Amino acid sequence: MSQVAHIFQIAAKDLQIEARSRQTIGLIIVLGVLIVVVLGLGLGTGGRVEGMRATAILWVAYLFGGALCFEKTMAVEAYDGALAGLMLAPVDRGSIYLGKLLANLALMLAMALVVTPVGVVMFRFDLSVAPAGFIVVMALSMLGFAAVGTLFAAAVTSSRLQGGLLAVLIFPLCLPLVIASTQQMLGMFEEGRALAGPGLGLLIAFDIIFIAASWLVFEALLEP
Amino acid sequence: MTGTGYAILAYGIALSMMLLYGLGMWRQRRKLLRRVQQANGAAAADAAAPPAREPDRASPAATLTAAE
Amino acid sequence: MTFPRFLAPLFWGATIALLAGALLMAVFYAPIEQTMGPVQKIFYLHMPVALTTFAACFVVFAARIGYLWQRQPVWDDLAQAGDQVSVLFASIVLITGMIWAKQAWGHWWTWSPRLTFSLILWLLYVVYLMVRQSIESPDRRALVCAVYGVIAFLDVPLVYFSTKLLPDVHPASIELAPEMRQTLLVWLLVAPIVCGGFIVARYRLFRLARATGAQS
């Protein structure tokens, strides 16, 4: 039971740090909105990308915003020997991972709450066909992305590397998420199929496999 | 380009890539082996040659002790 | 791994002869397929190399697990060797796949399941090579590569199934005449031999570099 409490404590700690400066959340929201705007302008205003295709643009915004978010929440541990302190505490290393994952999810959710309406409105995406399906698919995709991103943020931040490496590392791994969610959206919005389908199954499988694997492996990557 | 042309292109590219990789490794191996030989040769030379630098190194110490 | 000096030239001499034989078989012995024409012969190269790439990926995966388990540099060396060869072979799969697509369907690229799968696999292992370059400390580098290797391999089935969701362009299944089957078998022999030979050679090169204290 205490492990679960630890997980929430770690998440709460990260979110408290974030609440004080609001730096990361501000950055990723603005980045997300900018990406949507750039793509909207770049793709031409003649309605060339409309409706369901807006999910592609949302994906780009989430991917880049997410990579930035994961880097920053892990970088927090680099200051004042915070990571050493965390590792000395009697906390299961896997719980550290889950706590960080929760914090990242909360931040991603906050970003999505702003960026998604912007995208939906700018690209005239009619959600009324399957609003619950949209939310479920996007939430599951974001969970999988955060699972992979949180793990590799720990891999990448402990060394002095150039930026962008995290994005390069996690984007290929998350391509199945993009494919599955897009195909699922296509099924739901353009063909009127129900939520349950192979795409959804794949998203769930991805989430389970990678949360479990990352939870097991996370400890190896931490270094004070 | 005809079908045969494409087939030739495909095989050509594939086999060249493999060949280049193999050749690259071969050259790298020769370079490393040469370096090993040089290191062995230098080590042998060091053991054989008289310690020519001894007098130089000894002189500051010698002048010091002489000054004392 | 120290081999007697004659072994490497013997192995490679035999392999090149085998490769030449396989090539001749593909060109002259195998008949030209009716519906697709000569370009179908790319199949003899493409399919065995694709299977071999997957085997090479498995070697990398096993070596990375070995590193996570034992933290000995040998495992890292083997994994790196396997990774380079995987990228080489994955590139061949991708390029031959694209050439086939161009001839068969008129475009260099389609988002068909098979091509997309080769692309993502290629990307996964190319990123691997880049991670190697970006981390300075050798222990850290080996560790991060190990974690990435394990995760990437777990990703492969997910990639496979997700690309299955993509609309397929044309399902290509052909009847194999006996000569075609034999040619294919020969190539199925040649590809793993070349792949294995490369991995062992690259591994020995890494060990040699480590012994001489040089960068390889």
Mean predicted lDDT score pLDDT of chain A: 84
* Residue contacts between A and C (CB atoms, under 8 Å): 88
Could you tell me which chains touch chain C, where touching means 3 or more CB pairs under 8 A?
Answer: A, B
pLDDT at A220: 80
Mutate to test the interface with C, among B32, B35, B37 (most CBs of C within 10 A): B32
Find the range with the poorest average confidence among A117-131, C36-50, C165-179: C165-179
Nearest CA to A72 out of A204, A166, A174 is that of A166
pLDDT at C191: 92
Q: How does pLDDT run across C34-49, given as a tens digit for each residue?
A: 777 777 788 888 989 9
- What is the domain range of residue A69? 2-221
Give mean pLDDT, residues A29-36: 92
Nearest CA to A125 out of A205, A40, A62 is that of A40
Distance CA(C92)–CA(C53), nearest Å, equals 9
pLDDT at A204: 93
Task: Give residue A47's pLDDT band: very low, low, confident or very high (50, 70, 90).
Answer: low
- Tell if the CB–CB gap between A168 and C163 is shorter than 8 Å: no
DSSP designation for A48: S
Task: Give residue C216's pLDDT band: very low, low, confident or very high (50, 70, 90).
Answer: very low
Could you tell me which chains touch chain A, where touching means 3 or more CB pairs under 8 A?
Answer: C
Task: Note whether C207 and C101 are within 8 A (CB).
Answer: no
pLDDT at C174: 67
Residues C15, B31, C130, CA angle at the centre, nearest 5°?
80
pLDDT at A213: 92
Is the pLDDT confidence value at A80 over 70?
no
Distance CA(A133)–CA(A8), nearest Å, equals 28
**Cβ neighbours around A224 below 10 Å, total:** 12
Task: Give residue C214's pLDDT band: very low, low, confident or very high (50, 70, 90).
Answer: low
Total structural domains in chain A?
1
Give mean pLDDT, residues C59-67: 91
Sign of CA dihedral C6, C8, C10, C13: negative
Of residues C97 and C104, more confidently modeled: C97
Of residues A43 and C156, more confidently modeled: C156
Q: Which residues of B fall within a CB distance of 8 Å from C202?
A: 25
Is the pLDDT confidence value at A35 over 50?
yes
pLDDT at B67: 47
Q: How does pLDDT run across A174-195, given as a tens digit for each residue?
A: 999 999 998 888 888 877 777 7
pLDDT at C43: 85
Q: How does pLDDT run across C194-209, given as a tens digit for each residue?
A: 999 999 999 999 888 8
Residue A166: exposed, middle, or buried by beta-carbon count in 10 A (0-12, 13-18, 19+)? buried
**Residues 6 or more apart whose Cβ sits within 8 Å of residue B23:** none
Does chain A touch chain B (at least 3 C-beta pairs within 8 Å)? no
Quick one: three-class SS letters along A185-208? Answer: HHHHHHCCCCCCCHHHHHHHHHHH
Q: How does pLDDT run across B6-61, given as a tens digit for each residue?
A: 888 889 999 999 999 999 999 988 888 888 888 777 777 766 655 555 444 444 44
DSSP H or E stretch at residue B2: none
Distance CA(B31)–CA(B29), nearest Å, equals 5
Q: Which residues of C fall within a CB distance of 8 Å from B29?
A: 201, 204-205, 208
Of residues B66 and A193, more confidently modeled: A193
Give mean pLDDT, residues A210-219: 90
Distance CA(A36)–CA(A76), nearest Å, equals 28
Nearest CA to C8 out of C206, C205, C212 is that of C205
Give mean pLDDT, residues A32-59: 81
The token pair at C89 is: 């072979």
CA dihedral A167, A169, A173, A179 (to 10 degrees): 30
Which single residue is written with the structure tokens 């990723």?
A28
Q: Which among A79-93, A204-218, B38-52 has the top mean pLDDT?
A: A204-218
pTM of the model: 0.84
Task: Note whether C120 and C94 are within 8 A (CB).
Answer: no
